[in-house]
Amino acid sequence: MGKNIRIRGTAFASNLERLRLQNNLSKSDLAQATGLSWRTIDNYTKDRFEFAQESALLRIAEALNVSLEDLLKPCKANRPIYGHPAFLITVVILFSIVMGWALRAGRDGDSIEIREKSVRLPGGELKFKSKIVAWVQNTWDNRDILIIGKVGNSDQYGSILAIDVASAEVLWEYRPDHETLRSVFPADKVDQGDFYAHTLSLVDLDGDGVDELAASMRHNMSYPSYLSVIDKDGGVKSTYYCAGHINTVSPFDMDGDGKDEIYIAATNNTARFEGGTLIVLDELCRNGAALDAESARGHFADLSLSDSCKVRVVFPSYPMEFTNLLETPRMDAFNLWINANRSVPDRLTLNMGQPSKSLIIPFDSEIRPFDVYPSDLLAKFNRAWVDSGLVSRDYLTREALDKWLSGHRRFTAGHWSPR
Ligand SMILES: [Ca+2]
Ligand SMILES: [Ca+2]
C-alpha cells in the first residue's frame, strides 16, 4: 500500500489553486500532466479529502515546479525576520487590526457558529428543540448553504434543513417518511423510535457540477437505516434501504468518468451474514434495498423490494466466542479508505470489527475483496486470547482468514427499481 499523507489542516488546497493559476494551468491541464482525474484535482482544490496518496502529491508538485514540502506548507516570507524590531512593531499593529476586525466580525455575526441546538449565521440565529448531529456546507445557486441534520425528540421527528447562510432563511426541510419506512422495515421496529441524519455528504452523481446531498439516516433505537439522495431543492431522488446501520459514506469518482459513486460501509445484520457489508451506489443504481433471498426475512417487511445497487459485498460473521471478545456482536464495517491512485491494486480498503481491533480488507477496482489481514492490535489481542484459552482456536491464521474471506457474497444487481 502506498503512503498516505494527511492534507487536511495543511495549506495544500490553497497552494494548489494558487500555483495552478500562477502556472496558467486549467484543472484539466493539471489532470493531464499528473495522470489524475479532473474530479480528483477539483476535490483537492476544494479541500474535500483528509488524506492523499504521496505519489499523487509528488506528481502534482512536479507539475507545478515546487517541492512536496512547498506544496503543503503555508505560503510565507522567505527570510526569517522574527527578531527585528520592525517585525515586532508590525506584529503589534497587525494584531490590533485583526482584533478590531475580529470584534467587528463577532458583532456583525460574520461567521457560522454551530451549537448543540442552534446555529448563528450572518443572517440571524436559528434555535431548535432538538440536537444538531450532522452538518455540511455547500454553494447552491450561488448561495452559501448550511445543511444540518437534527435528531428527533418527543414532539418532533429528526429532520434535515437547508439554510441560506446570508439570510438565515430555511430553504427546505426534509423529514423521514415514516409511513413508507413502516412498509419497508418491520413496522414494530420503526415505531420503537425515530430516524435521524447520521451522515451528510456532498456527491455529484450525474457529473453536472452541481452537488447532490447523500444523507444516511439511522434509526435511534433499532437497526434499520437508509441512504437518500436529495437534490439542491430538497427533492428526494432515490432511496436505498439497509437492515443494519450505515457507518461510513464516502463519495468518490473511482473510475474517473466525472460522476461520483457512493461507497458505503455498513453492518449487514442478517442471520447468516453478520460480518459487515460494502455497498456501492451510482447515478443509475441507487434505489432498492440490501436484500436477498438468504437475508431478508425478519429484517424487511416489503420482500418485493429489489436490490439495484451497483455492487454489494457481504461478509460472513465470526463465531460468537470471537466477536464477544471483540466487544461487537456483529462485525461492523467502517473506515472506508479510497485510494486516488489508479495504478495501485488496493483501490479501496475498509476495516471490520471494532475500531481498535479490526480486520483490514482491500478491494480492487472492480470492488472485489482480494485479501484480509488483522490490524496489529487485533493480532496482538488474538495471540493473548489463544494463549490464555479464551478462544478455542486461532481465528487469525492465514488459513482461517482465507477460509473466512472465501465465504463472502458479492451482488451486482444493477437493475433499476424506482421507489
Ligand atoms: Ca449533480
Ligand atoms: Ca465515476
Ligand nearest the Cα of residue 338 is 2
Which residue has 479464551 as its cell numbers? 390
What mean pLDDT is reported for the chain? 86
**How much of the chain exceeds pLDDT 70, in percent?**
87
Q: Which residues surround ligand 2, an ion (CB under 5 A)?
A: 253, 255, 257, 259
Q: Which of 339, 388, 407, 397 is nearest to 367 (CA)?
A: 339
Give the integer Cα–Cα distance in Å for 45 and 48: 8
Whole-number Å distance, alpha carbon 43 to ligand 1 midpoint, is 14
The Å distance, Cα 101 to ligand 1 centre, comes to 37
Q: Using alpha carbons, select from 260, 231, 258 the residue that is nearest to residue 138.
A: 231
CA 194 to ligand 1 center in whole angstroms: 29
Do 160 and 167 touch, CB atoms closer than 8 A? Answer: no
Ligand nearest to the CA of 204: 1
How many Å lie between the centroid of ligand 1 and the Cα of residue 224?
Answer: 27
What is the distance in A from the centroid of ligand 2 to the CA of 301?
A: 33
Name the pLDDT band for 6 (thresholds 50, 70, 90): confident
The SS3 assignment for 238 reads strand
Per-residue pLDDT tens over the stretch 356-398: 899 999 999 999 999 999 999 999 999 999 999 999 999 999 9
Per-residue pLDDT of 139-173, as tens digits, reads 999 999 999 999 987 667 799 999 999 999 999 99
Q: Which ligand lies nearest to the CA atom of residue 260 in the structure?
A: 2
Q: Find the 319 Cα to ligand 1 centroid distance in Å.
A: 43
Q: 105: pLDDT confidence band, cut at 50, 70 and 90?
A: very low
Q: What does the pLDDT read at residue 97?
A: 53
For position 334, what pLDDT does the model report? 92
The predicted pLDDT at position 418 comes to 44
Give the pLDDT of residue 310. Answer: 93
Per-residue pLDDT, averaged over 238-253, amounts to 94
Is residue 93 predicted with pLDDT exceeding 70?
no
Residue with cell 450525474: 206
Q: CA 384 to CA 156: how far, in whole Å?
A: 48
How far apart are alpha carbons 203 and 17 in whole angstroms?
21
260 C-alpha to center of ligand 2: Å? Answer: 5
Query: From CA 148, how far away is CA 162, in angstroms rounded?
Result: 7
253 CA to middle of ligand 2, Å? Answer: 4
Per-residue pLDDT tens over the stretch 312-337: 999 988 888 998 898 887 888 999 98
Surface-to-core class of residue 23, CB atoms within 10 Å of its CB (0-12 exposed, 13-18 middle, 19+ buried): middle
Helix/strand/coil for 17: helix
Domain boundaries, the chain: 4-72, 176-411
Residue 411 pLDDT greater than 70, yes or no:
yes
For residue 160, report the distance from its CA to the centre of ligand 1, in Å.
Answer: 19
Average pLDDT over residues 198-227: 95
- pLDDT higher than 50, residue 413: yes
Has residue 111 got a pLDDT over 70? Answer: yes
Residues around ion ligand 1, judged by CB within 5 A, are 204, 206, 208, 210
What DSSP character marks residue 2? P
Q: How many angstroms does the Cα of residue 403 sit away from the middle of ligand 1?
A: 41
Confidence of residue 101 (pLDDT cuts 50, 70, 90): very low
**Residue 239 in contact with residue 287, Cβ under 8 Å?**
yes
Residue 289 buriedness (CB in 10 A; 0-12 / 13-18 / 19+): buried
To the question of pTM greater than 0.95 for the whole model, the response is no
pLDDT reading at 280 higher than 80: yes
The residue type of 140 is: W
* Architecture, CATH, for domain 4-72: Orthogonal Bundle (1.10)
Contact call for residues 45 and 20 (beta carbons, < 8 A)? yes
What is the Å distance from ligand 2's center to 32 Cα?
A: 17
Phi and psi at residue 19, to the nearest 5°: -70, -35
Q: Does 184 have pLDDT greater than 90?
A: yes
Split at pLDDT 50, 70, 90, the class of 32 is confident
**Which ligand has the minimum distance to the alpha carbon of residue 258?**
2
pLDDT at res. 53:
81
**179-193 burial by CB neighbour count: b if 16+ within 10 A, else e?**
eebbebbbeebbeee
pLDDT of 352 above 90: yes
The number of residues making up the chain comes to 419
- Output the CA 19–ligand 2 centroid distance in Å: 27
Centre of ligand 1 from the C-alpha of residue 48, in Å: 16
**385 or 341, higher pLDDT:** 385
Could you give the maximum distance between any two Cα atoms of the chain, in Å? 77
CA of 310 to the centre of ligand 2 (A): 12
Instruction: Give the cell for residue 276.
Output: 459487515
- Asked whether residue 224 carries a pLDDT value surpassing 70, the answer given is yes
